[in-house]
Amino acid sequence: MINRYSREELRNIWADKNKYKIWLDIELAAAEAMEKLNIIPKGVVKKVKSKAKINVARILKIEETVKHDVIAFLTSITERAGKEARFLHKGMTSSDILDTCFNLQLKQSGEILLNDIKNLLASIKKQAIKHKKTLCIGRSHGIHAEPITFGLKMLTFYQEFLRNKKRLEDSINEISTCAISGAVGTFANIDPRVESYVAKKLKLKIEPISTQIIPRDRHAQFFSTLGIIASSIERLATEIRHLQRTEVLEVEEFFGKKQKGSSAMPHKKNPILSENLTGLARMVRSAVIPALENVALWHERDISHSAVERNIGPDATTTLDFALTRLNGVIKNLNIYPKNMLRNLNLTNGLFFSQRVLIELTSVGFTREQAYALVQKHAMQSWNDGSSFYKNVANDPKINKKLPVDRLKKLFDFSYHTKRINMIFNRSLKG
């Protein structure tokens, strides 16, 4: 996690100050439950609350000696709160604190990411509707295929991020669990009602069964979802990068008046934001495999996952938050050039009508094989010498014998390719 590719709101979630605050919240919530259950004396929470203060520097200093972060934290609290603090952490293990905190941090991060996706969806939807009828060429294998609209292209991304929104909602729900179950998850030294109280207090669910830790398949799902979202970001960023190429130039990232594109070439306007997003996506996805490998821990627990999560938790969430926010800015401010789209559409002299001609020839008596051979012959001629595909077909005696010119002309109509656009938009934007 570096400041260049992170935003303050999410960065703060992973700051030591917030982590220790959550630890204290968990400890105090557990103590409150124990007071209500007459497990510890009344008034402990009130006294600890009034005296306990988070001192990050002091906690880290103690940890240098004791080599244990939770013990260092509890020692620091005891120094400030006095003898009443001895009732904190009763019957609990470090993982009760660490795992519940980690899940809460992931939940908090996920909620910010969810809002990022909602903002991005609004921007994509706006561009899709605005350019619903803006004709452009559809490409397969990078080669001109058949006409679509730019709005339809954007609509595919809208639907993809809708699915990402649902995936993230499911993953937030999956990760929002709390475990206060003791050393090996048996509740031998702590009342299960304490866990229920803490979970309710923190707006989490209880973990139905834990060992010493919360099962890591939950975390694997969460980070896998982040990876999928990152891949969707890269797909959209890659599309923009292609469409901004000089010889294509159908869209272009916004370029400020005082912005510089190259240290050597003053004429350059590079798709640097989209390129950056491609790189950030790779970084987010790099968290997925470690998260999957964290599932298989030894027996009731080992700590091989710990160092991994201390890295991927902050890094993956803050990077994805930054990437989603940056992508939203790119889409909102994207320069779109319909004239260039139309120019590119006409580059191949009507070749993209080949399928319609093929279908029509089969309807007037040609076998599919015969029709394909005829259409391909004229298409390749047009491709090789730049001639009009329509004229090549119209001048073929075998074709005009069965297909009158007036009927042939009707086949070369852009509206044929856009006639279902409203239907696609209606079902994609439904609800």
Question: Residues with catalytic annotation?
Answer: 141, 262
**Torsion angle of C-alpha atoms 412, 414, 415, 416, degrees rounded to 10:** 50
Rg (CA), the chain: 30
55-66: string of b/e by CB count within 10 Å (b at 16+)? beebbeebbeee
DSSP 68-90: -HHHHHHHHHHHHH-GGGGGTTT
Residue of 399, 380, 379, 220 lying closest to 309 (CA atoms)? 220
CA dihedral 50, 56, 59, 61 (to 10 degrees): -140
Residue 252 β-bridge partners: 335
* Cα 309 from chain centre: 19
DSSP class of 5 = G
How long a stretch of residues is the chain? 431
How many whole angstroms from its chain centre is CA 257?
Answer: 31
Backbone angles phi, psi at 423, to 5 degrees: -60, -45
Kindly report the backbone phi and psi dihedral angles of residue 58, in degrees, each rounded to the nearest multiple of 5, phi listed first.
-65, -40
Q: Pick the closest to residue 273 from 5, 94, 17 (CA basis).
A: 5
Token duo for residue 47:
């006294």
Query: How are beta strands 177-178 and 205-206 bridged, if at all?
Result: parallel
Residue found by looking up tokens 């905190």 in the block? 101
Q: How far apart are CA 111 and CA 122, in angstroms?
A: 17
For 207-306, where are the E strands, in sequence order? 251-252
Query: DSSP letters of 320-358?
Result: HHHHHHHHHHHHHT-EE-HHHHHHHHTTTTTGGGHHHHH
- Residue at 421: amino acid letter: I
Angle between helices 304-332 and 94-130 (to 10 degrees): 20
The closest of 188, 62, 166 to 118, measured between CA atoms, is 166
Residue 172 to residue 192: CA distance in whole angstroms = 24
